[in-house]
Amino acid sequence: MGVKLTWQNRGTVPLDSIRIYRSATKTGDLVLIDTIAGSALTYEDTTMPTTNRVYWYVVASVLNGNETLGARTPLGHFPDTGPGPKNIAIGDWEFGYFGELTADMASVPTFDEVASAAGLNRSADTPTKVRKWVVGGKIIYIPNAAIGTYTQPNMLTYKLMKPFNSDSAAVLSIGKGNYGFKVRIPRSSNVNDTAAMSDINGDSSKYKSELWALFAHHVNLDAASEASRYFKGAFRLGDETSIYSTSGRIFLGYANATTYNALIWSQWSSTSSYPLSNSIAAYLVYELDFGTT
How do residues 72-87 score in pLDDT, each as one tens digit? 999 999 999 999 999 9
- Of the candidates 181, 170, 193, 188, the residue with the CA atom closest to the CA atom of residue 280: 188
Between CA 258 and CA 273 the distance in angstroms is 8
Domain boundaries of the chain, sorted by first residue: 3-77, 90-288
Q: What is the pLDDT, as a whole number, of residue 57?
A: 97
Between CA 125 and CA 23 the distance in angstroms is 43
What number of residues does the chain have?
293
| Environment class of 23 (CB within 10 Å of its CB; exposed 0-12, middle 13-18, buried 19+) | middle
Contact, 160 vs 171, CB < 8 A?
yes
Residue 232: band (very low, low, confident or very high) from pLDDT cuts 50, 70, 90: very low
Between CA 209 and CA 5 the distance in angstroms is 25
**C-alpha angle 176-25-209 in degrees, rounded to nearest 5:** 60
Percent of the chain with pLDDT over 90: 43
Q: How far is the CA of 275 from the CAs of 101, 146, 269, in angstroms?
A: 38, 21, 16
Residue 154: band (very low, low, confident or very high) from pLDDT cuts 50, 70, 90: confident
Which fold is adopted by the domain 3-77? Immunoglobulin-like (2.60.40)
**SS3 call for 268:** coil
Q: How high is the mean pLDDT of the chain?
A: 76
Contact, 54 vs 93, CB < 8 A?
yes
pLDDT, greater one: 213 or 48:
48
Residue 190: band (very low, low, confident or very high) from pLDDT cuts 50, 70, 90: low
Between CA 58 and CA 17 the distance in angstroms is 14
Q: What is the pLDDT, as a whole number, of residue 139?
A: 96
Q: Where are the alpha helices (DSSP H) in 52-200?
A: 111-118, 152-158
Q: What is the pLDDT, as a whole number, of residue 167?
A: 67
- Mean pLDDT along residues 87-100: 89
- Of the candidates 285, 284, 282, 264, the residue with the CA atom closest to the CA atom of residue 273: 264
Q: What is the pLDDT, as a whole number, of residue 276?
A: 56
Q: What pTM value is reported for the model?
A: 0.80
Residue 193: band (very low, low, confident or very high) from pLDDT cuts 50, 70, 90: very low
Q: How far is the CA of 217 from the CAs of 110, 213, 250, 266, in angstroms?
A: 19, 6, 15, 16
Q: How far is the CA of 154 from the CAs of 161, 251, 279, in angstroms?
A: 9, 12, 9
Q: How far is the CA of 132 from the CAs of 74, 171, 261, 288, in angstroms?
A: 18, 20, 27, 10
